[in-house]
Amino acid sequence: MRVSDQEICELLKERKIGGMELLFKEYYKPLVVWAATFLHDTQRSEDVVQDFFVKLWEKSFADKLQPDTLKSYLFTSVRNLALNQLDRIDPLRRACDVARYESPWEEYDSFEDEVFQRVETEIGKLPPRTQEIIRSVYLKGMKYKEVADELGISVSTVNSLLVKALKKLRQTTEKEGDIAVCLFFLEKRLLEIT
């Protein structure tokens, strides 16, 4: 169940750690995905978002957040931090790429829908058993052994089919970037539907 921005902001204003935990739970993954659209590096993106959350709490900015601007503030801040990170890595690159990153963060939502649809379509093209393995591992969170037992196959077969499927998905979704990002969108959408 989604936590409201109002609830998060109220807890943060009271300087309750639970507010920060809810903020993290609700926004961490989407912010990492957002940062990765700029940095093209999941680990670096995670570092940027984690540092942002720590500074937000330590500097007491969190208690000044407003529910109606929370999402905008978070995405804009992470975008700026990611771009600053890129400037430190390659200062000349930004001069060439700045127009690419000036689109508003709201495009993230439509990007998410497009990626979800593309990944769903590509998964639908896989053999039925492979589809079942991907959905079991990535959407239901099952362990390889559990999937193997449920399907009556070996763990090595589960692993082999999953590796082949992810390789194929990675090739066909190369435009969207890291397959982990795509599977995250798929997982998130399934949780919203159920």
- Tens digits of per-residue pLDDT, 66-123? 888 888 888 888 998 988 887 666 544 444 444 444 444 445 555 556 666 777 787 8
Q: What is the residue whose two structure tokens read 């790429």?
A: 97
Weakest mean pLDDT among 14-23, 29-38, 168-177: 168-177
| 5 pLDDT tier (thresholds 50, 70, 90) | confident
Q: List the domain range (segments joined by +) for residue 183.
A: 107-193
Residues 96, 16, single domain; the answer is yes
Tokens coding 10: 């109220």
Tokens coding 34: 């957002």
Asked whether the beta carbons of 179 and 166 are under 8 A apart, the reply is yes
Asked whether the beta carbons of 191 and 185 are under 8 A apart, the reply is no
pLDDT of residue 110: 57
Residues 58, 83, single domain; the answer is yes
Name the domain boundary from 75, 101, 127.
101
Asked whether the beta carbons of 26 and 2 are under 8 A apart, the reply is yes
pLDDT of residue 1: 53
How many domains in the chain?
2
pLDDT of residue 6: 87
Residues 54, 14, single domain; the answer is yes
- DSSP code of residue 15: T
Weakest mean pLDDT among 8-12, 33-37, 106-110, 151-155: 106-110
pLDDT of residue 189: 46
CA distances from 25 to 20, 53, 164 (A): 8, 11, 31
Name the domain boundary from 69, 86, 101.
101
- Tens digits of per-residue pLDDT, 139-183? 777 888 999 999 999 988 988 888 888 777 777 665 545 455 555
CA distances from 124 to 17, 129, 130, 158, 169 (A): 42, 11, 10, 18, 11
DSSP per residue, 146-166: HHHHHHT--HHHHHHHHHHHH
DSSP per residue, 52-106: HHHHHHHTT-GGG--TTTHHHHHHHHHHHHHHHHHHHH-HHHHHHHGGGG-S-TT
Mean pLDDT, residues 32-60 taken together: 87
Asked whether the beta carbons of 170 and 126 are under 8 A apart, the reply is no
Mean pLDDT, residues 12-38 taken together: 87
Asked whether the beta carbons of 22 and 67 are under 8 A apart, the reply is no
Residues 130, 172, single domain; the answer is yes
CATH number at residue 74: 1.10.1740
Q: Please state, in angstroms and rounded to a whole number, the distance separating the CA atoms of residues 99 and 72.
A: 20
